[in-house]
Structure 1
Amino acid sequence: MPHIHAAFDRPPYIPVLSQELDQMVESIVLLLSIIAVGLASYSMFMPPKRAITSLRTFVVRTQLDETVARVRAQLLHILYELGKENYQFRLRFKGQYLRDAFFVEDYGIYENAILKMIPLSRMPESDHRRSVNSDTHSLASTESGPGILPAIKNALVEEVSVFIRRENFIFNFRSLLYIHFMAIWFCALSVDWYASIWVAVLFIGGSLYCPTFTRQSGYIGQHYLYRNHFCIIFGLYSLACVGAALYLCAAAWIRVMDHGCKDYVFEGDCSSQLVFTGIFHGIHSLCLLASCVLCWALFHNMKLEYGDIVEKYLVQSRDIEEVMKSARQGRMKEKRMAAFELATMAASGDDNKFRIVAEGGLEMLIRLALSKDESTQEHSVEAIAELLTVPAIQDNFIEIGGVRSLTALLHSPSARVVYQCATAISYIVSDAEENRSSIVADHGLEDLAHAAKMPNSVCQRLVAGIFLELAFTPEIRNQMASLNTPARALTDLCASPDQECQRLALQTLELLAIESPETICAQDELLKQLLKIPELTYDTRTFILVAKILLYYAEDQQKTCEDLLDQPNCKSTLTKFARTKDPILQKVVVKVIYCMLQIRELRYRAEHVKMDELLRYVRENASDRETWDMADQSLQFLACEPDGLQHLPPLSTLEKIDRMESVTRGSLSSCVSLQSGLADSIVDLKKGLE
Structure 2
Amino acid sequence: MIIYVESKAFPHRTFVVVVNQNDKIARIRARMLHKLFEIGYPDHQFRLRFKGQFLRDAFTIRDYEIIDNSVIKMISISKKVNSVSDLQSIAGSSTVNLDLNANETTDVKAPLYKEIKAFTTREKLLKDFNGLLYMHFLTTCLTLMTIYYYSFLWTFPVFIFAVLFRPQYTRVGGYVGNNTHLRFIFCIAYFVAALGTLGAAIYMSAVSWMTVVNHGCKDWEFVAECSHKNVFSAIFFAMQSLLLLLSAIVVGALFFSFRLEIGDYIEEFLVQERDIEMVMRAARNGRLKDKRTAAYELAAMAASGDDNKFRIVAEGGLEVLLALAMSTDENTQEHAVEALDELITIPSIQDNFVEMGGVKALTALLHSENSRIMQEAANAIYGIVSESDEHKSAVVMDHGLDDLAHAAYQGTIACQRTVASIFLDLAFNRDIRIQITSRNIPAQALIHLCRSNDVETQRYALQTLELLAIESSDMICAQENLLEVLLELPMNTMDEKLYLLAGKILLYYAENRPTCELLMDHTMLKESLGMFARTKDPMLQKVVAKIIFFMLEPKDLRVIARRLKLDRVLEYMMDNAADREVWDMADQGLQVMNSKDDHTPIPALPSLSTLEKLNKMGAKDSFGSRASLRSDQGSSSSSSDDVKKGLK
* TM norm structure 1: 0.79
Give the match for residue 453 of structure 1: 409
1:638 aligns with 2:589: no
Aligned to 1:106, the other structure's residue is in SS state: coil
Q: CA deviation at 1:493?
A: 1.3
Partner residue of 2:518 out of 538, 556, 563: 563
Q: CA deviation at 1:296?
A: 1.4
Structure 2 distance, partners of 1:510, 1:85, is: 58
The number of residues matched between the two structures is: 591
1:300 aligns with 2:256: yes
Give the match for residue 618 of structure 1: 573
1:405 aligns with 2:361: yes
Q: Which runs of 5+ in 2 are unaligned?
A: 1-7, 82-98, 617-646
1:275 aligns with 2:196: no
Q: CA deviation at 1:386?
A: 1.3
Give the match for residue 492 of structure 1: 448
Give the match for residue 527 of structure 1: 483
1:375 aligns with 2:331: yes
Give the match for residue 31 of structure 1: none
Q: CA deviation at 1:54?
A: 8.2
Determine which structure has the larger helix proportion and give its number. 1
Aligned to 1:219, the other structure's residue is in SS state: strand
Change (3 A) 1:246 1:108: same
Q: CA deviation at 1:411?
A: 1.1
Aligned to 1:90, the other structure's residue is in SS state: strand
Q: CA deviation at 1:533?
A: 2.9
Please give the residue correspondences for 1:155-234 in structure 2 after superposition, counting only pairs within 5 Å.
155-234=111-190
Q: Which amino acid aligns with 2:379?
A: T
Structure 1 distance, partners of 2:598, 2:489, is: 37
Give the match for residue 93 of structure 1: 50
Q: CA deviation at 1:85?
A: 4.3
Q: CA deviation at 1:504?
A: 1.0
Give the match for residue 352 of structure 2: 396
Give the match for residue 393 of structure 2: 437
Q: CA deviation at 1:152?
A: 4.4
Contact 2:555 2:598 in 1 (8 A): no
Q: CA deviation at 1:325?
A: 2.1
Q: CA deviation at 1:542?
A: 2.4
Aligned to 1:110, the other structure's residue is in SS state: coil
Q: Which amino acid aligns with 2:16?
A: V
Aligned to 1:59, the other structure's residue is in SS state: strand
Structure 1 distance, partners of 2:267, 2:328, is: 32
| 1:233-287: CA deviation from partner (whole Å, max 9, x where unpaired) | 1111122221232233344445545666566554555442333233222211211
Contact 1:234 1:295 in 2 (8 A): yes
Q: Which moved more, 1:98-107 or 1:186-195?
A: 186-195
Change (3 A) 1:389 1:237: same
Q: Which amino acid aligns with 2:604?
A: A
1:71 aligns with 2:22: no
Q: Which amino acid aligns with 1:567?
A: H
Identity of counterpart residues, as a percentage? 50
Structure 2 distance, partners of 1:344, 1:166, is: 33
Give the match for residue 62 of structure 2: 105
Please give the residue correspondences for 1:649-688 in structure 2 after superposition, counting only pairs within 5 Å.
671=600, 675=602, 678-682=603-607
Structure 2 distance, partners of 1:302, 1:501, is: 49
Q: Which moved more, 1:357-366 or 1:175-184?
A: 357-366
Contact 1:362 1:384 in 2 (8 A): yes
Q: Which amino acid aligns with 1:104?
A: I
Change (3 A) 1:443 1:179: same
1:313 aligns with 2:253: no
What root-mean-square deviation, in Å, do the aligned CA atoms of Structure 1 and Structure 2 show? 2.9
Change (3 A) 1:145 1:88: farther
Aligned to 1:60, the other structure's residue is in SS state: strand
Structure 1 distance, partners of 2:34, 2:495, is: 49
1:543 aligns with 2:468: no
Change (3 A) 1:465 1:70: same
Structure 2 distance, partners of 1:504, 1:148, is: 50
Contact 2:100 2:278 in 1 (8 A): no
Change (3 A) 1:387 1:684: closer
Q: Which has the higher contact order (CA 8 A, sep 6+)?
A: 2
Q: CA deviation at 1:458?
A: 1.7
Please give the residue correspondences for 1:283-294 in structure 2 after superposition, counting only pairs within 5 Å.
283-294=239-250
Q: CA deviation at 1:406?
A: 1.2
Q: CA deviation at 1:520?
A: 1.7
Give the match for residue 422 of structure 1: 378
Give the match for residue 547 of structure 2: 592
Give the match for residue 341 of structure 2: 385
Aligned to 1:452, the other structure's residue is in SS state: helix
Q: Which amino acid aligns with 1:303?
A: R
Structure 2 distance, partners of 1:69, 1:409, is: 29
Structure 2 distance, partners of 1:146, 1:205, is: 56
Q: Which amino acid aligns with 2:518?
A: D
Structure 2 distance, partners of 1:357, 1:119, is: 32
Q: Which amino acid aligns with 1:293?
A: I
Larger-Rg structure: 1
Q: Which moved more, 1:322-331 or 1:338-347?
A: 322-331
Contact 1:86 1:123 in 2 (8 A): no
Aligned to 2:148, the other structure's residue is in SS state: coil
Structure 1 distance, partners of 2:608, 2:587, is: 17
Q: Which moved more, 1:162-171 or 1:195-204?
A: 195-204
Contact 2:205 2:238 in 1 (8 A): yes
Q: Which amino acid aligns with 2:79?
A: R
Contact 2:100 2:290 in 1 (8 A): no
Partner residue of 2:79 out of 100, 103, 122: 122
Give the match for residue 516 of structure 1: 472
Structure 1 distance, partners of 2:333, 2:102, is: 21
Partner residue of 2:192 out of 236, 239, 254: 236
